[in-house]
Amino acid sequence: MYVYSNIPVPGLQSVIIKKSEEIGGDFHLYVEVPKKSHKCKSCGDWTQRIHDYRTQKIQHLKLFERTTYLFYRKRRYA
């Protein structure tokens, strides 16, 4: 499920916002980058095969006068 909004979020034009919610006085955005091919550092081949995902919590600019946290779902390629 993609969450679309007509309000641009500063610095997040190239990511997919999966979910947004307000918890306490904080604003949480769950984001991920679109999948693309990457070059392997050891063998030099291009791959889209994903090894696993990790979620990283990042403090972002204030949004709507609330402290904003990004929960970035980063991926590790095989």
**Domain hosting residue 69, numbered range:** 16-77
51, part of any domain: yes
At 61, list the tokens.
């600019």
User: What would the pLDDT profile of 22-48 be if each residue is shown by its tens digit?
Assistant: 888 898 989 888 888 888 877 888 988
Mean pLDDT within 15-22: 86
Tally of structural domains, the chain: 1
26, part of any domain: yes
Average pLDDT, the chain: 81
Q: Contact at 8 Å (CB) between 34 and 50?
A: no
DSSP secondary structure, 21-51, as one string: EEETTEEEEEEEPPP--EE-TTT--EE--EE
Task: Please tell me the predicted confidence (pLDDT) of residue 2.
Answer: 45
Mean pLDDT within 68-77: 86
Cα first-last separation, the chain: 26
Task: Please tell me the predicted confidence (pLDDT) of residue 1.
Answer: 41
Task: Please tell me the predicted confidence (pLDDT) of residue 55.
Answer: 92
Task: Please tell me the predicted confidence (pLDDT) of residue 10.
Answer: 67
